[in-house]
Amino acid sequence: MVAGGSGCRRDMFDQPREKPLRASEFFKDKTSARPLVPNTVPRGYLQEDEQFFTGKIGTNLVATLPAALNRQLLERGRERFEIYCSVCHGRTGEGHGMIVQRGFPAPPAFDIERLRQAPIGHFFDVITHGYGVMYSYANRVEPEDRWAIAAYIRALQLSRSAKLEDAPAAERAKLQGAAP
């Protein structure tokens, strides 16, 4: 019984602690809250690759995708596009999503010449900072997903002007067989 009773001391219940912003005698400035060490960066937020995290090199928008373009990236981009973008832009990027049908201003279609000529960094920048009535998605969509969406937008643009001759021979045969 003595061994069991000694394990239940009151000091385990009333542990010493400091309440945030309460005065403290321990530090010279008499505060318990400590300021952040200057020039520190939390783990995972270093963002050394300017091109990847800003979509720019200096002040110029990047013209090439700073990630490996593969099926997985495009599928992730389609998934994120359908979640965040299709409500305004529509599932095919024509600019007639459900929000537009409810009276909001229509965004431009992705297949207009100005956007077809825009560097891929433009789409990353617009997702990051917003444009016109579109607000920023920087705190909703991670940089990796912003690039995936930008790549998917490029795929949408290419699909709007694709010709049967653009497809590989094996795929062309399948497409011709499926035509009515």
**Residue 180: band (very low, low, confident or very high) from pLDDT cuts 50, 70, 90:** low
Higher pLDDT among residues 56 and 9, named by residue: 56
Residue 5 confidence (pLDDT): 57
Structure token pair of residue 34: 């400590």
Task: Tell me, yes or no, whether 73 lies in a domain.
Answer: yes
Residue 52's pLDDT is: 96
Mean pLDDT for 124-130 is 97
Residue pair 144/80 in contact by the 8 Å Cβ criterion: no
Hey, what long-range contacts does 38-43 have (CB within 8 A, 24 or more apart)? none
- Average pLDDT of every residue of the chain: 89
Per the domain annotation, does 128 fall within a domain? yes
Q: Which domain holds residue 119?
A: 68-161
Angstrom distance (rounded) from CA 76 to CA 142:
12
In a domain, 30, yes or no: no
Q: How does residue 91 score in pLDDT terms, banded at 50, 70 and 90?
A: very high
Predicted confidence (pLDDT) at residue 164 exceeds the cutoff of 90: no
pLDDT for the residue numbered 84: 97
CA 170 to chain centre: 35
CB count in 10 Å sphere of residue 139: 7
How many domains is the chain built from?
Answer: 1
Angle (CA) 164 160 104, round 5°: 160
Q: Is residue 52 part of a domain?
A: no
Q: What is the rounded average pLDDT of the residues 33-38? A: 85
Asked whether residue 103 is domain-assigned, the answer is yes
Phi and psi, residue 103, nearest 5°: 110, -5
Residue 11's pLDDT is 67
Domain membership flag for residue 23? no
Indicate which CATH number applies to the domain containing 117.
Answer: 1.10.760.10
Distances (CA, A) of 38 to 8, 24, 31: 43, 22, 18
Torsion (CA) 117, 121, 124, 125 in degrees, nearest 10: -100
- Mean pLDDT, range 114-140, rounded to an integer: 96
Q: For residue 27, give Cα distances in angstroms to 30, 40, 110.
A: 5, 21, 58
In this predicted model, what pLDDT tens digit does every residue of 39-56 receive, in sequence order? 888 887 888 899 999 999
pLDDT of residue 67: 93
